[in-house]
Amino acid sequence: MSSTTQSIKAPVAEHMRIFEEKFRGSMKSSVPLLDKITNYIVKRKGKQLRPMFVFLSAQTVGTINESTYRAATLIELLHTATLVHDDVVDDSNERRGFFSLNALWKNKIAVLIGDFLLSRGLLLSLDNDDFHLLKIVSTAVKEMSEGELLQIEKARRLDISEEIYYEIIRQKTASLVAACCSCGAASVTQDKNTIEKFKEFGILTGMAFQIKDDLFDFGSSEEIGKPTGIDIKEKKMTLPLIYALNQSTWLEKRKIINIIKNHNTDSDKVKVVIDFVIEKGGIAYAEKVMHDYKNKALTILKEFPESPSRNSLELLVNYSIERKK
């Protein structure tokens, strides 16, 4: 883990350590194959930004308690389930530099593991009467699915406007960050206004985070662990590309759309699209929008008293858009 994420984590480091134990325990099963696979999942965990958002949000407005640990575990279980299913949908053999579950154990087992994690998350909430947390997270999972489907539908026709793009990323990415922050707040306070503010903060941060992800598609592929132009190859319409197309003549637009539709696996043609986006100011525009979202998120945060946790949340927002991968 980088020194940046270590310093962000500092105010809740001990809580994160306890959470890891609880998360591991939440996946225990008497079926040996399940245990083997869930151990593999725990070992390949990423930066753990999601639980960090939960604990820092909670500690900014109250005192972390058992409900906070369950909120973080619930989000991590349901999100891991969606990632496992995502890899099956995308036919992806890699996740965070490791083999994906479907690459090692095939699709059928991967789908069943996703279902198992989903049910563990639901039972964890129901067994503890955490209906308010379950409602927040279930809404996020519903929105993530809708966002993915909306993106697939629009990719077929390549007719995404800027407004539809924002709706897709709000559902696909920002809804989960919003769930992390509002669950964290809801685990320590019943004040609806505070919970709503943390939800809004999460949406704005998630929007900035996704735009940063989209920008990686146009950068160098060495640092970021995914090939440049991958979104173009998958016919995903991202903000830099949408803006560039909106600045084009009818002829230019037709040429670029034709490449995305019919030559999206040709690396030289994909490079033409990347150069076109840069030339039309798509990168600069997307960076401006990303910073606007970031600044709005920080404005909400400043409504709460200064504390080590609030300062870490600010650092986390900045890290979201300054990270190299």
- Residue 281 falls within a domain, yes or no? no
Collapsed DSSP state (helix, strand, coil) of residue 291? helix
- Residue 157 falls within a domain, yes or no? yes
**Is the model more confident about 222 or about 2?**
2
What is the mean pLDDT of the segment spanning 257-280? 86
Confidence of residue 100 (pLDDT cuts 50, 70, 90): low
For residue 103, is pLDDT > 70? no
Q: What is the pLDDT of the chain when averaged over all its residues?
A: 85
Name residue 233's amino acid.
Answer: K
Confidence of residue 325 (pLDDT cuts 50, 70, 90): low
- Residue 115 falls within a domain, yes or no? yes
Q: What is the DSSP letter of 160?
A: -
C-alpha 74/C-alpha 80 separation (Å) is 10
Place of tokens 């150069």: 275
Close Cβ partners of 317 (under 8 Å, ≥ 6 residues apart): 205, 208, 294, 297, 298, 301
What is the mean pLDDT of the segment spanning 198-216? 94
- Residue 218 falls within a domain, yes or no? no
Confidence (pLDDT) at 221: 41
- Residue 198 falls within a domain, yes or no? yes
pLDDT tens digit sequence for 145-177: 899 888 888 777 777 889 999 999 999 999 999
Confidence (pLDDT) at 224: 42
**23-45 burial code (b ≥16 CB/10 A, e <16):** beebbeeeeeebeebbeebeeee
CATH number assigned to the domain comprising residue 60: 1.10.600.10
Any bridge partners for residue 95, and if so which? 98
C-alpha 305/C-alpha 325 separation (Å) is 31
Give percent above pLDDT 70 in the chain: 88
C-alpha 206/C-alpha 210 separation (Å) is 6
- Residue 309 falls within a domain, yes or no? yes
- Residue 290 falls within a domain, yes or no? no
C-alpha 79/C-alpha 117 separation (Å) is 9
- Residue 189 falls within a domain, yes or no? yes
Place of tokens 């300062």: 311
What is the mean pLDDT of the segment spanning 110-131? 87
Collapsed DSSP state (helix, strand, coil) of residue 65? coil
C-alpha 133/C-alpha 102 separation (Å) is 30
For residue 118, is pLDDT > 60? yes
pLDDT tens digit sequence for 30-62: 777 777 777 777 766 667 888 999 999 999 999
C-alpha 299/C-alpha 85 separation (Å) is 36
Q: What is the DSSP letter of 173?
A: I
The count of structural domains within the chain is 1
What is the mean pLDDT of the segment spanning 67-86? 85
Collapsed DSSP state (helix, strand, coil) of residue 223? coil
C-alpha to C-alpha distances, 207 to 13, 95, 110, 210, 317, nearest whole angstrom: 26, 22, 29, 5, 11
For residue 1, is pLDDT > 70? no
> Distance from CA of residue 244 to its chain's centroid?
25
Any bridge partners for residue 94, and if so which? 99
Domain that holds residue 134: 3-205+297-322
**167-189 burial code (b ≥16 CB/10 A, e <16):** bbbbbbbbbbbbbbbbbbbbbbb
Helix (H) or strand (E) segment spanning residue 99? strand 98-99
Confidence of residue 212 (pLDDT cuts 50, 70, 90): very high
